[in-house]
Structure 1
Amino acid sequence: MILTVTPNPSLDRTYEVPALHRGEVIRATGERMDPGGKGVNVSRAVAAAGRRTVAVLPLGGAPGALVADLLHAQGIEVAPVPVTGATRSNIALAETDGILTKINAPGPELTAAERAHLLDAVRAQSRTADWIACCGSLPRGLAATWYADVVTRAHADGTRIALDTSGPALLEAVRARPDVVKPNAEELAQAVGRPLATIGDALDAAERLRALGARAVLASLGADGQLLVDDAGTWYGSAHVDTVRSNVGAGDASLAGFLIAGGNGPDALASAVAHGAAAVRLPGSVMPTPADLDPTAVTVTADVPVDRVLGEPAV
């Protein structure tokens, strides 16, 4: 079982539009409403693969109730922590050329009692978990050290933990030695305080996170593929994608694929790449099923193309 923890979940509305023009009326060609948040998306991808997952998340108000209903409808077990503030609602505008514009609300501020209940829920649910995936931003009311505390508790209970966050929360948490962290290129650049122009730069940044304490780094580089760096070695994975429909949740699908495949080594990296490539071909934040995957399009190698220039350099 894969347990996900999403401290700042959302109700996500995605509109597909021909093009985005400021100040004009834009008629959407498609729309979706999904439960949102990085950990929520990981649970959705795990459930789509036919595996058991439990989602721990604070929920409040009508948007929170709708998030829970949508998760239940997708076969996901929900361990809600009731909060007084309403769960945030986010908007994504997906253009036909693949450009995505997102508007993310801040979310509610958790009280001291709600913070304690959230930690208790994670510990209670983790007793039967093979992995805990802690994902996303921290809501107001949670200190930057919160993820680090969860990592320490998980390891004390003998549970492996994956982390997908950014900024001070990431830097604090890596010192607690999470089993794997999954930054994207922008988050890598922010963590090491320097721009990334090549895959070699991304590799150096991943090694820096390992030096700070992360046991393994799974780095998503968008269209430029993914890197896996751990004690056993370094691998680079990529997949050809003809058409990008939406990249919402693609990194979360990748993390789910990685954990589903065991969470270590080149086979898990191949699964991560396959899941991420499948996700970008789907609308909104739809998570791929096994039928959507194309393992034959995936290449994994220990020969990392360090001189390859990133299509979208990270600063």
Structure 2
Amino acid sequence: MIYTITANPSIDYVLQLKTLTTGEVNRTTSDVKLPGGKGINVSRILKELNIDSTALGFVGGATGEMFKSLLAQHNLKTNFTTVKEDTRINVKVNAVEQDEETEINGMGPAISSDEKNEFIDQLKSVGNGDVVIMSGSLPKQLPETFYLDIAKMIQAQGADFIIDTTGQALLDTLPLHPLVVKPNNHELADLFQTTFNSDQEIIDHAKKLLDQGAKHVLVSMAGDGALLVTKGHTYKANAPKGTVINSVGAGDSMIAGFAGTFMKTGDPIESFHIGAACGSATAFSQDIAVKEKIDKVYKEINISELS
């Protein structure tokens, strides 16, 4: 089973208007409320791929009830921990004529010790053959080591894990051998305080993550495609042609495609191919990509071995 953890889910209130003028009354041309959170995005893509997952996280208050109602239409299996304080609301304002998107993200609820312990208890049944995918920000009062502590726990129980984070928090997990890490090229450069001028420089630094313990390294490069670096092999996926509509969730989709396929097949190349298709298909969609879009984009992606 794949478990996705979204510690700080949200209702994403997406507003579209012609122009945004601060300090004045602005009127929208359309709006939509979506269940948000990086782990939620992963579970939604897995659902499109007909791969089972269980979505975990902290949900509370009136907004938490709305969140669960919005999520219900996607028919995901969930096991949320109920908390006292409200699930957050994130506001995303898209000013079409200005070609600008403004985001205002809420902080999220404060999580009590009892609520944290109730959540951790759910993970005691995770074991051999399971994968736990952790991603997104942490709500108040959870320690910065929350994901790292979970990784240590489930590894001791025989499960694999994936953590979608950056900086020192990513480096700290590498000795625990995550199944895959997925920085983009800019995040990878920041990790090593450098800049890249070629694919080979990116590959060389991705190999450093392997040396520190990662089993697979995915590097997304926007219009330049993506790389998969493994022990002894490097593969590149081209970037398919299409109009980027919404980059939010593209990275989550790529992780979902890779992890779900790898669990089924154990084939990193096919997992990379499907992961790249999922990421691009979401980037070309208003919301998380649907299966039909993923299948179409898959046919436009070629995987080549570089080394």
TM category, shorter: 0.7 to 0.9
Partner of 2:147: 147
Name the structure 1 match of 2:106. Answer: 105
* Contact in 2 for aligned 1:98/1:246 (Cα 8 Å): no
User: Secondary structure of the equivalent of 2:243?
Assistant: coil
Find the aligned partners of 1:90 and 1:173 in 2 and give their Cα distance: 28
CA distance in 2, matches of 1:117, 1:51: 26
Q: Is the 8 A contact 1:239 1:274 kept in 2?
A: no
1:77-156 correspondence to structure 2 within 5 Å: 77-94=77-94, 96=96, 100-124=101-125, 126-127=126-127, 130-156=130-156
Does residue 271 (structure 1) correspond to residue 274 (structure 2)? The answer is yes
Query: Against the structure 1 CA distance between its residues 149 and 93, is the aligned structure 2 distance closer, same or farther, given a 3 Å change threshold?
Result: same
Amino acid at match of 1:122: L
The CA deviation string for residues 213-263 of structure 1, in whole angstroms up to 9 with x for no partner, is 222211222222222112241111123232111111111111111122216
Deviations 1:38-67 (A, max 9, x none): 111101111122222110101111122222
1:311 equivalent in structure 2: none
Query: In the aligned structure 1, how far is the partner of 2:28 from the partner of 2:196?
Result: 35
Distance 1:200 1:25, change over 3 A: farther
Distance 1:98 1:225 in 2: 24
Q: What's the counterpart of residue 287 of structure 1?
A: 288
The count of residues paired between Structure 1 and Structure 2 equals 301
Tell me which residue corresponds to 1:309: none
Assess, with a 3 A threshold, how the Cα gap between structure 1 residues 137 and 273 changes in structure 2: closer, same or farther: same
5+ residue gaps, structure 1: 305-315
Deviations 1:4-58 (A, max 9, x none): 0111211112223445555565544433211111111101111122222110101
Tell me the equivalent position of 1:245.
Answer: 245
Does residue 1:181 correspond to 2:181, yes or no? yes
* Identical-pair percentage: 32
Counterpart Cα distance in 2 of 1:83 and 1:195:
43
Residues 1:64 and 2:64 aligned together: yes
Relative to structure 1, is the Cα distance of residues 63 and 197 closer, same or farther in structure 2, using a 3 angstrom cutoff?
farther
Q: Which residue of 2 aligns with 1:44?
A: 44
C-alpha separation between the residues in 2 aligned to 1:116 and 1:229? 37
Counterpart amino acid of residue 147 in structure 1: Y
Matched, 1:301 2:299: no
Bigger CA drift: 38-47 or 61-70? 61-70
Deviates more, 1:289-298 or 1:268-277: 289-298
| Distance change in 2, residues 1:22/1:43 (3 Å) | same
Distance in 2 separating the partners of 1:42 and 1:198? 30
Contact 1:17–1:30, Cα closer than 8 Å, also in 2: yes
Q: In 1, are the aligned partners of 2:123 and 2:154 still within 8 Å (CA)?
A: no
Per the TM alignment, residue 211 of structure 1 is displaced from its structure 2 partner at its CA by: 2.6
- Deviation of residue 190 (structure 1)? 3.1
Counterpart CA distance in 2 for 1:255 and 1:278 is 13
Please give the secondary structure, in 1, of the residue aligned with 2:172: helix
1:147-184 alpha-carbon deviations (Å, 9 max, x no partner):
22222222222222111112332222223221111222
1:67 and 1:128 mapped to 2: Cα distance?
Answer: 31
CA distance in 2 between counterparts of 1:207 and 1:101 reads 36
CA displacement 1:118-146 (0-9 Å, x = unmatched): 2222333x358632111112223222322
In structure 1, how many angstroms separate the alpha carbons of the residues matched to 2:20 and 2:189?
28
* Equivalent position of 2:223 in the other structure: 223
Taking a change above 3 Å as real, the CA distance of residues 109 and 221 of structure 1, as seen in their structure-2 partners, is farther
> Is residue 184–residue 219 contact of structure 2 (8 Å, CA) maintained in 1?
yes
Q: TM-score, normalised by structure 1?
A: 0.86
Secondary structure (helix, strand or coil) at the match of 2:142 reads coil
Give the conservation status (yes or no) of the 8 Å contact 1:258–1:272: yes
User: Structure 1 residues 189 and 142, CA, compared in 2 at 3 Å: closer, same or farther?
Assistant: farther
What amino acid maps onto 1:149 in structure 2?
A: D
**Equivalent residue, structure 1, for 2:74:** 74
Select between 11-20 and 149-158 the one with higher mean Cα deviation.
11-20
SS of 1:227's partner is: strand
